[in-house]
A and B are shown apart, each in its own frame.
Chain A
Amino acid sequence: MNLSPIAYSIRLKIRVLCLFLAAALSLHAQKAIDLKPFSDDVAEDILYETQMRYKEFIFTGFLAIKSTPSGYHIYLISKTGLTLVEAIIKETETKWIKTLPFIDKPKRKRALERNLRLLTQSPLKFGTLKKQTKDGLKIKMQKGGKVFFATENNEVTKGITKGFLKLTKTKVYFQSPDSKGLPQLIRIKKTMLDAEINLKLHEN
């Protein structure tokens, strides 16, 4: 088909405009996330008294968190002092340094990893910003799924996981930040699952 010079020029302009829009949208999707996870840039030791409940089974102990350039180094410790889990949560993988045989099962480790990624707010560091509104941030997580972090006064107050056809959703609440911005209480609740995790900032 032969096009007149004017028609050709219009079609070219439309193509250039489309390319420009696509590039602009792509840049928008990769826009850096302004907020940082609460443990970033905190020099002090971060320790939470921890209660994990799944149905009638309850574990109580401590969760230690240290932010490092490559990820989040965490320890789950019993009250008697034994380390149950030591791991580093990285961008695309979790390095399991130590897991007791009781926990060293793929399904249990996956569930634990999902919860640890959320409660450390690691998607703020490793995820991709999909949408930002006055109410919060929608982030695509590296390990799959999306999370919406609600914000107030430039701090994350709540996170809700989203996923296509995902029946079980996780809600995580970050409450009562201290002077360093560390939430004094963190609570994880599941829909359609009788399980919860409660953390309280420990003063040693």
Chain B
Amino acid sequence: MKSINLICFLLFASFSVFSQAPEGFSKMDDIPQFRAAIQETIGSIRTLKSDFTQAKHLSIFSKTIDSEGVLVFKAPDRLKWTYKSPYHYEIIINKNTISINDGGKVNSFDLSSSEKFSEINELILNSITGKILDDERFKTTYFQNDKFWLVVLEPENNEMSGFISEIQIYVEPVKNRVSKIRLVESANDYTVIHFSNQILNEPIADSLFNTP
């Protein structure tokens, strides 16, 4: 159970992404239009494949801690989040099972075995399906500039706000795609995940999400 609790936190970290207007942004003009556009795009996603790069910023460091990998999603409840460099680390959600492959050592858990696990799983999938915009566990505010729509999520739950202060989701207008996610832990400690080479609705076999 202790392992499960820890893994829940680790998992959440990879998908948690930030209420004053951030620098260079102003309040969004038409929130209903943005939400409708996002819901329409996300509703049409059957599969999604994307490369990502992750940079961890620490207040005590001059350089970032970098990693990169691939995200694969198949609606409604399959997800594979793989770090390929500089280490191999993989999180797979396949319906009711979650597996973590840490450099070849695999641990699998039944999502129904832990309430917290189910909660995290719901949060992850809600992030991808856009339902997180209606999640009452977050205070949501909307901003924009000429390049991005920005959704800022602030956890209202004490347990969650203890380790994440804000989640920023940057969406490209027109394409309605998430381009960048920024997980803010404190003023100078944050993680930025950039998504690239996004491919939508290409056939992806269910077997890709099998436990290794």
Contact = CB atoms under 8 A, between A and B. Distances in A.
B185 A102 contact: no
A77 B64 CA distance: 13
Contacts of A78: 9-10, 13
B6 interface: yes
Contacts of A100: 6, 9, 162-163
B9 to A, nearest CB: 5
A86 B183 CA distance: 16
Interface residues of A, number: 27
A70 B26 CA distance: 41
Interface in B116-150: none
Contacts of A58: 102, 105
Contact of A57 (B2, B9, B103): B2
B96 to A, nearest CB: 21
A60 interface: yes
Interface in B53-98: 54, 56, 58, 60-67, 83, 86-87, 89, 91
A53 to B, nearest CB: 11
B105 A81 contact: no
A49 B103 CA distance: 13
A75 interface: yes
Contacts of A49: 87
A82 B60 contact: no
A81 B102 contact: no
B64 to A, nearest CB: 8
A47 B60 CA distance: 11
A47 B13 contact: no
B191 interface: yes
B30 interface: no
Nearest to B192: A81
A131 B147 CA distance: 65
B10 A80 contact: yes
B5 interface: yes
A59 B103 CA distance: 12
Interface in A153-204: 202, 204
A79 B83 contact: yes
Given A58-B102, A73-B60, A81 B6 contact: no
Contacts of B87: 49, 79
A66 B62 CA distance: 11
B105 A102 contact: no
Interface string B173-192: 00000000001011001010
A64 B191 contact: no
B11 interface: yes
Given A79-B67, A81-B13, A45 B61 contact: yes
A73 B58 CA distance: 11
Interface of B: 2-3, 5-6, 9-14, 16, 54, 56, 58, 60-67, 83, 86-87, 89, 91, 102-103, 105, 159, 162-163, 183, 185-186, 189, 191
Lowest 9 CB-CB distances: which A-B pairs, in order? A82-B13, A80-B14, A81-B191, A66-B60, A80-B13, A45-B61, A78-B10, A79-B89, A81-B56
